[in-house]
Amino acid sequence: MDRKPMTLHRLREMHASGEKIAMLTCYDASFAAVLDAAGVDALLVGDSLGMVLQGRSSTLAVSMEAMEYHVRCVARGNRTAWLIADLPFGSYLAPETALNNAVRLMQAGAQMIKLEGGGWTAPIVALMVERGIPVCAHLGFTPQSVHALGGYRVQGRGESAAATLRREALELVQAGAAMVLVEMVPADLAAGLARELAVPTIGIGAGAACAGQVLVLYDMLGLHPTGAPRFVRNFLTDGLGISGAIREYVAAVKGGRFPDDAVHAF
């Protein structure tokens, strides 16, 4: 039976009922159609495309034009999944600039905009929400700040760092963020956020207690020539094929079998 298009209301219902949200990154129309047919709830057109598609060492050089192009491609292939798009580095330094660039991505086909960081981003989130743009906040390890953070390091360790992350998450939700993605933070910290926040938390390297999970598509298919983070599982095994691997990922997230905190927690 054909599923109905995913909406923000439906995502909130899933969160309220305890149904896990399965999300994957996506960058083109063909994969969008495959992921949608496999039951993925949300597609993230991430600026990770700078690394997995463009071969760069970080996400920092990804342009608004590249993001618009890939959002359009994914929107053409997708029918029912919720479509989230990243604002790339340097595209949301001021509220009005952020709003204008968010509008560009929404007009390209996005249904929600994701941006990294807390504190200074709360007024930007409030402005976008006020203007009718759903926002996903991204905390913990934020790839656009890789140099400031000293590399690919777990965030939120220690009482002070954890308190700052909690405060920023609450501020962002109060500003109107409808979802919070937490990356590479200790599982107990992510579990606390999942309990405390009124919106879904989506984890990546953040333990099993989050309301949902996201992985880079290429990582979960084993296509990571430089090596995958230890929280990644290769689902393209046992002769499943790509569609089967994606279906297994969805089933593992929804069934609580991925991630395994004993294996993947920091």
Q: Which residues have a catalytic role annotated?
A: 183
- The backbone torsions φ and ψ at residue 25, rounded to the nearest 5 degrees and listed phi first, read -75, 155
DSSP 149-207: TTSS-----SHHHHHHHHHHHHHHHHHT-SEEEEES--HHHHHHHHHH-SS-EEEESS-
Cα-based angle 43, 47, 53 (whole degrees, multiple of 5): 90
Residues facing 214 on adjacent strands: 23
Between CA 35 and CA 186 the distance in angstroms is 29
Between CA 256 and CA 208 the distance in angstroms is 7
Between CA 130 and CA 229 the distance in angstroms is 37
